[in-house]
Each structure stands twice: as C-alpha cells, then as structure tokens.
Amino acid sequence: MICAIVPIAQTVGANRVVRGVAIPHPTGDPSIEKSGEVDIRKKLLTLALKGLESKIEEQTVYKEES
C-alpha cells in the first residue's frame, strides 16, 4: 500500500507499506515539474514492487536507501 500516513495503514493491518508523498497526492508532487513527478512515481512503485517480492513475517515499511 502506498499511503501518506503510515501509522493509519499499520493500524488497519497493512503488511507492506510505502510512504506516499501527501494525502491529496500520494503519488505526485504539484510543486515540481511533471517529469520530476513521474520520477517520484517510479521510485514509489519500485519500492512497492520490492515489497511485493519480499518475504516478511510482520508489517514492514519500505523506504529508499539513503
């Protein structure tokens, strides 16, 4: 699940969570150009895909490695 408010996702039982950008635009950022937004979306989806292929025992939040 891509969701801006991770604690809510966890409270309702979501197991694989990626932190979205913001509530009204979880996979967008109106303050930047569209090409930048598409990059953000690709990054978020890539994290989500990583979650889908990971074996987990408990709720996990997927973040970009810094």
| DSSP assignment letter at 59 | -
Measured from the CB atom, the residue of 25 and 61 that comes closer to another protein is: 25
Structure tokens given for 55: 């074996």
Measured from the CB atom, the residue of 57 and 65 that comes closer to another protein is: 57
Chain CA centroid to CA 59, Å: 14
Positions 25 through 64 that interact with another protein (CB under 8 A): 25-30, 34, 37-38, 41-42, 44-46, 48-49, 52-59
The rounded distance, in Å, linking the Cα atoms of 50 and 33 is 26
Q: Which of 5, 33, 62, 66 binds another protein (CB under 8 A)?
A: 5
